[in-house]
Copies of this chain bind each other. A is one copy, B any other.
Amino acid sequence: MPGPPKRADARRNYERILAAAEEEIARDGAVASLEEIARRAGVGSATLHRHFPSRRALLEAVFHDRVEVLCLQARDLAGAPDAGQALADWLRAVAVFGATTRGLASSMLPGVEAAADSDCGPMLMTAGDILLRRARTAGAARPGVTIADVLTIVNAISLATEQHPRAAEEAARLTTLALSGVVSA
C-alpha cells in the first residue's frame, strides 16, 4: 500500500529488501525469516518493518509483478476460440505458478490480516472473471460457480502440491481433475 517511498536512499533500501526477500522466499517459502531478509539486504530490521508493516505486505510486493504477468496471460486467452479450454488452461497456469512459487499460495489464503493491503487476490479475480464469463455464455462452465470458488480451489491445490517433487506436473494434473470432476453421482 505505501508504495515505493520518496527519498532516494529509502527507495534504494526498499528495492534491496525486495530483492533479498525474493531470494529468501524462494528458498524458505512464506515463512522466511524477516530478520534474515533484512540482514541480506544490508539494512536494519526496523527499516524492513517500516517499509513493509506486515509479512503479508512484503509477500504481496514480492509477488505483485509475477501475478500481473498471469493476468496478462488471461487477457490473451480471452480471444481464444474455445472458451472452456481457455479457462482451463489459464487455471492450470495459475495452479502451476502457485505450486512452483514457494510461499505464494499460502499468502493468498484469507488470513487474519487480509483486509486492507490485499492486492494479488483481487487482481487474479478480475482477470479470471472475464474467462469464466466467456466460458459460461459458451455453455462450457457450470452456472452458479463464481471465479472466487474456482480460484479458491486452484489455490488450495497449489498449496497442497507445493512440496511435491514434481510440483508443477502434480498441480496441473489435480487442477484438471478438479475442473472436470471425479464422480458422476
**Chain A residues engaging chain B, CB cutoff 8 angstroms:** 82-85, 87-88, 109-112, 135, 139-142, 145, 149-150, 152-153, 155-157, 159-161, 163-164, 173-174, 177-185
Contacts and interface: CB of A to CB of B under 8 A. Distances in A.
B183 A110 contact: no
* Dominant secondary structure at the A interface: helix
B152 A182 contact: no
Contacts of A155: 160
Contact of A159 (B87, B149, B156): B156
B182 A141 contact: yes
Given A160-B155, A160-B159, A135 B183 contact: yes
Given A177-B149, A177-B153, A84 B163 contact: no
B111 A142 contact: no
Q: Which 4 A-B pairs have the closest CB atoms?
A: A181-B181, A84-B185, A156-B156, A156-B160
Contacts of A83: 185
26 contacts: A83-B185, A84-B183, A109-B160, A110-B164, A140-B184, A140-B185, A142-B180, A142-B181, A149-B174, A149-B177, A152-B160, A152-B161, A152-B174, A153-B160, A153-B182, A156-B156, A156-B157, A156-B159, A159-B159, A159-B160, A178-B178, A178-B182, A180-B181, A180-B183, A181-B181, A181-B182
